[in-house]
Amino acid sequence: MIVVDSSIKLDNFRRHTENYELGAVDIETTIANPFAGETKLVSVACSFGDVVGQTFVFKDDEWLASAKPNLESQQWVMHNGLFDRLMMLLWGYDLPLAHDTMAMQYLLDPDEPKSLEKISEKFLGLSSYKNIDYHNILDHPWEEVAEMNAEDTRRTLACFRPLADLINADPELSRVYQWIILPAINELIEVTVAGVPVDEPRLTELTELYAGVIDSLLWEILNSTPKPDPAVYKKGWPKRNKTTEETFNPASTKQVAHVLFDLWKLPVLEKTATGNPSTGADTLIQLETFYTEGFEQEWLGKLREFRKAKKVNDSYLKSWPKFIANGRMNPRYKLLHVVTGRLSSSEPNIQNVPRNKEFRRIFGGVEGYTWMKADYSQAELRIASWLAQEPTMLQAYQENKDLHALTAELVLKDSTPGARQVAKSLNFGLLYGAGANTLRRIARLQYGVFLSEDEAHQHRETFFDTYPALAGWHERSKNELILSGVVRSPLGRVRYLPNAKIPWKVEEMRGKKMHAILEGINMPVQSMASDVLLYSMNKIGPQVRALGASIIAEVHDELDLLVPDDRVDEVAVIVKREMEDTSWLERFGINLDVPMLSDIEVGTHWGSLTDWKQNGNG
DNA sequence: ATGGTAGGCGCG
DNA sequence: AAAGCGCGCCTACCAT
């Protein structure tokens, strides 16, 4: 390891960048919000050569700056380049990413661990070497951090060759890697840097509103909750403050269960995974029809309202301010985490913001810019109907019909708006193998629809009679998976589901086997829908940036952009064209004979959007 | 104090 | 005959 701290050593580094086509780079930083300028770069290491080679380490200082031209002209392999390249970009270094060892391992088996520690153990037989607590990285001697940093790059480079051989041996994975993953890493860096604009006064306003709502709901609940039975709940309930006596905490599932099942003697309708009585929203809804001594039905509704308000307050309103820097939040996207190939997002999770307009109106409000939302219409249903080659569904989509309405008409024999809502729960639930009971729960919880047991069974049967190819596709997927224990998405992503091979006769494992089978049915659909959007994102990003616009969020089947007001039509045309164009799938050997439709909406905020109508065409 | 799990619930 | 899938993150609770 050479610490670059003289012009002679810098020259040596430069010669290496000129002589080697590929090097490995890795950085060490402190843990903080980089967009608030709080993160410190501690060390940068670069490694060259396989058997014989050299590793150079820089401190974040003038020598690193002197090496900038070489750092930016070298082709690098990184382990998790999304992070390292992003961070270096924030410090002004644009490092070309040629390969990513974490991406390779992820594609080979998305269920397997993919840390550098694990893969260097697997491919190189090397043992653990990480002995630094990143939270206190500055407390360690710099040389110690640098040595670990250097070892990271040596291992990255050493793992690269065997991983590349495995990827290259799999033409399908190679295509996903080259045409989707690598471009998406670069594109997601752009999305992350762009960030989501926050209308801070609106955040403050809503936060205050919810504080009041929670207070009054809590007061109502406390005043209608019976006193606990100390004999049953012997520890007693915690005191909220010094002045009050034992007080009920509606956020405690144990206490809620005590009230419902011990004091009011309500029946236990559902159990949790560990066998305790469930107090989930669905249970509460069902309990509303029961009558027992002292039981007040309205209490259940109040508790559900309280939980809802508390949830959005704690998970969103309360947590968001700490993520805001320069008026924006910069969610971290993970491209290499979800087993199906979807993205995930965190700190904050921008993909689970409540649909409530008041919440989504917190985002946007940038003077001179328009919020543009582009989302696929029923992406997974379209892809499933193509995979299953379900003739009735395919025809509906090819004729641009509303599939939910069609299901309402054909399965429920009812064309009212209420029936369409029921039909939606059938389409989305039964597609992935829900049984009658789950169907009832989905309908209740997500669509506010109450189905009797008979209705649920009946609808399920009629549904598969109406779309018989869907049932056939389920059957084929299941049988293939049980034999092979592995499933591939149409684009070539792979997922190993060994539990599917468990014999039926092993009774206690049947649940696991069933779960694997349903995962296997879901995976190709979710995976392909996700890849279609990722590919669009990769193509759209550079084009709209040339017009001063940027992609600011990805929500599974939706892209959100911030567009200069006078470029809205131009950008919308590009976005719609790229999202609806699926001809590139031919490169993956796919001829998608179902149209993918993208709806575009525009407005000032995420929560106040109207349909985009092309000028002179609306 | 700190860490991990359970239950619950927001989104696609 | 029966079986939704995929996430992140909050609080409560219990173990260390």
Chain segment A498-557, per-residue pLDDT in tens: 999 999 999 999 999 999 999 999 999 999 999 999 999 999 999 999 999 999 999 999
Question: Is A480's pLDDT higher than 90?
Answer: yes
C-alpha–C-alpha distance, residues A331 and A350, integer Å:
7
Instruction: Identify the band that residue A232 occupies on the pLDDT scale cut at 50, 70 and 90.
Output: low
At residue A246, the pLDDT reads 65
Q: φ and ψ at A140, to 5 degrees? A: -85, 150
Q: Identify, with chain letter, the residue nearest to nucleotide B9 (CA–C1').
A: A311
- pLDDT, greater one: A245 or A256: A256
Residues 552-571 of A with CB under 7 A from strand B: 555-558
Average pLDDT over residues A407-417: 94
For A223-333, where are the alpha helices, taking DSSP H only?
Answer: 253-257, 281-287, 297-312
Q: Which nucleotide does the CA of A315 lie closest to, via C1'?
A: C10
Protein-covered nucleotides on strand B (Cβ within 7 A): 6-12
pLDDT of residue A238: 64
- Checking if the pLDDT of A362 tops 60, the result is yes
Measured between alpha carbons, how far is residue A128 from residues A25, A259, A308 in Å?
20, 50, 44
Longest dimension (CA), chain A: 88
Tell me the C-alpha distance between A549 and A332, whole Å: 20
- In the predicted structure, residue A385 carries a pLDDT above the cut 80: yes
pLDDT above 70 (res A96): yes
A135 beta carbon < 7 A from strand B? no
Asked if the Cβ of residue A276 lies within 7 A of any atom of strand C, the reply is: no
Strand B proximal residues, A:243-262, Cβ < 7 Å: 253
Nucleotide in closest CA–C1' contact with A380:
B12
Q: How far is it, in rounded angstroms, from Cα A499 to Cα A485?
A: 7
**Between residues A417 and A550, which one has the greater pLDDT?**
A550
Let me know if domain A381-523 sits in CATH 2.40.128.110. no
Tell me, what's the pLDDT at A239?
57
Which of the 546-605 residues on chain A come under 7 Å of nucleic strand C at their beta carbon? 556
Cα dihedral A246, A251, A256, A258, rounded to 10, equals -50
Asked whether residue A276's C-beta has any atom of DNA/RNA strand B within 7 A, the reply is: yes
Q: Which nucleotide is nearest to A111 (CA to C1')?
A: C6
State the DSSP H helix or E strand holding residue A519, giving kind and residue range, or none if neither: helix A510-545
Q: Which of A13-17, A128-132, A185-189, A266-270 has the lowest average pLDDT?
A: A128-132
Name the DSSP letter for residue A3: E
Q: Provide the 3-class DSSP secondary structure of residue A196.
A: strand
pLDDT band at A233 (very low <50, low <70, confident <90, very high): low
CA gap A521, A498 in Å, rounded? 14
pLDDT of res. A243:
46
Confirm whether any atom of chain C, the nucleic acid strand, is less than 7 Å from CB of A33: no
In this structure, what DSSP letter does residue A368 have? Answer: T
pLDDT of residue A245: 57
- Whether CB of A356 is under 7 Å from strand B: the answer is yes
CA neighbor of A387 nearest in space, from A377, A397, A399, A401: A397
For A141-178, the pLDDT digits (tens) are 999 999 999 999 999 999 999 999 999 999 999 999 99
- pLDDT tens column, A40-56: 999 999 999 876 789 99
Nearest nt (C1') to A345 (CA)?
Answer: C8
**Paired tokens of A510:** 């049947």
**What is the distance between the alpha carbons of residues A80 and A199, in angstroms, rounded to a whole number?**
32
Q: What is the pLDDT of residues A189-222, one digit of tens each?
A: 999 999 999 999 999 999 999 999 999 999 999 9
Strand C within 7 A of A247 CB: no
Q: Which nucleotide is nearest, taking the CA of residue A556 and each C1'?
A: B12
Q: Which two tokens stand for residue A123?
A: 């491919």
Going by C-alpha positions, the residue among A197, A308, A298, A190 that lies closest to residue A251 is A308
Mean per-residue pLDDT of chain A: 94
Locate tokens 């789950």: which residue?
Answer: A438
User: Residue A122 in 3-state DSSP?
Assistant: helix
pLDDT of A128 > 90? The answer is no
Q: Cβ–Cβ contacts within 10 Å for residue A203, how many?
A: 19
Q: Residue A616 above 90 pLDDT?
A: no
Cis peptide before A468 (omega within 30 of 0): no
Nucleotides of chain C within 7 Å of a protein C-beta?
Answer: 2-14
Helix/strand/coil (H/E/C) assignment for every residue in A460-502? HHHHHHHCHHHHHHHHHHHHHHHHHCEEECCCCCEEECHHHHC
User: Which fold would CATH assign to domain A331-377+530-611?
Assistant: Alpha-Beta Plaits (3.30.70)
Domain span(s) for CATH 3.30.70.370 in chain A: 331-377+530-611
pLDDT at A394: 97
Q: What is the pLDDT of residue A613?
A: 87
Distance A197 CA to B2 C1' (A): 35
Least confident among A78-82, A442-446, A546-550: A442-446
Cβ A439 vs Cβ A452: under 8 Å: no
**Among candidates A115, A23, A38, which has minimal Cα distance to A77?**
A23
Round to whole Å and give the CA distance between A574 and A492: 27
So what's the pLDDT on residue A50?
72
**What pLDDT, on a 0 to 100 scale, did the predictor assign at position A168?**
98
A285: amino acid identity, one letter: I
Fold of domain A200-320: Taq DNA Polymerase; Chain T, domain 4 (1.20.1060)
Token code pair at residue A21: 């086509």
Is the pLDDT score of A101 beyond 50? yes
What does the block give as tokens for A388? Answer: 């299953």
Query: What is the C-alpha separation between A221 and A479, in angstroms, rounded?
Result: 52
Residue A67 buriedness (CB in 10 A; 0-12 / 13-18 / 19+)? buried
pLDDT in tens, A307-358: 999 999 999 999 999 999 999 999 999 999 999 999 999 999 999 999 999 9
Interatomic separation, CA of residue A62 and C1' of nucleotide C9, rounded (Å): 41
Which contiguous run of DSSP H or E holds residue A80?
none
Q: Read off the pLDDT of each residue in A288-306 and give the average, rounded to a whole number.
A: 95
Which two three-digit tokens encode residue A404? 């939910």
Q: With contact defined as beta carbons under 8 Å apart, do A511 and A467 qualify?
A: no
Thinking of the domain A2-169, which architecture would CATH place it in?
2-Layer Sandwich (3.30)
- Residue–nucleotide distance: A49 CA to C10 C1' (Å): 47
pTM, two decimal places:
0.96
Residue A118 pLDDT > 60, yes or no? yes
Tell me where in chain A the CATH 1.10.150.20 domain(s) lie. Answer: 381-523
- Which pLDDT tens digit goes with each residue over A129-145? 887 878 889 888 999 99
Q: Give the per-residue pLDDT at A129.
A: 83
Q: What percent of chain A has pLDDT over 70?
A: 97
Decide if pLDDT at A577 tops 60: yes
**Structural contact between residues A196 and A552, judged by C-beta atoms closer than 8 angstroms:** yes
Band of pLDDT at residue A242, cut at 50, 70 and 90? very low
CA dist A426 and A451 (Å) reads 11
CB A63 within 8 A of CB A48: no
Both tokens of A62, joined, read 């003038």
β A486-488/A369-376 pair status: unpaired
More confident residue, A617 or A238: A238
Distance CA A82, CA A181 (A): 11
* A488 DSSP β-pair partners: A494
CB atoms within 10 A of CB A315: 15
Nucleotide nearest to A332 (CA to C1'): C8
Flag whether pLDDT at A400 surpasses 70.
yes
CA distance A61 to A3: 12
Whole-angstrom distance, CA of residue A172 vs CA of residue A493? 7
Q: Give dist(CA A480, CA A119) in Å, integer.
A: 30
Task: Give the span between the Cα atoms of A336 and A342, in whole angstroms.
Answer: 8
Q: What is the distance between the alpha carbons of residues A597 and A176, in angstroms, rounded to a whole number?
A: 23
| CA end-to-end span of chain A | 65
Query: Is the predicted pLDDT of residue A264 greater than 80, yes or no?
Result: yes
Q: What is the DSSP string of A371-419?
A: EEEEEESSHHHHHHHHHHT-HHHHHHHHTT--HHHHHIIIII---SHHH
Give me the pLDDT at residue A32, please: 84
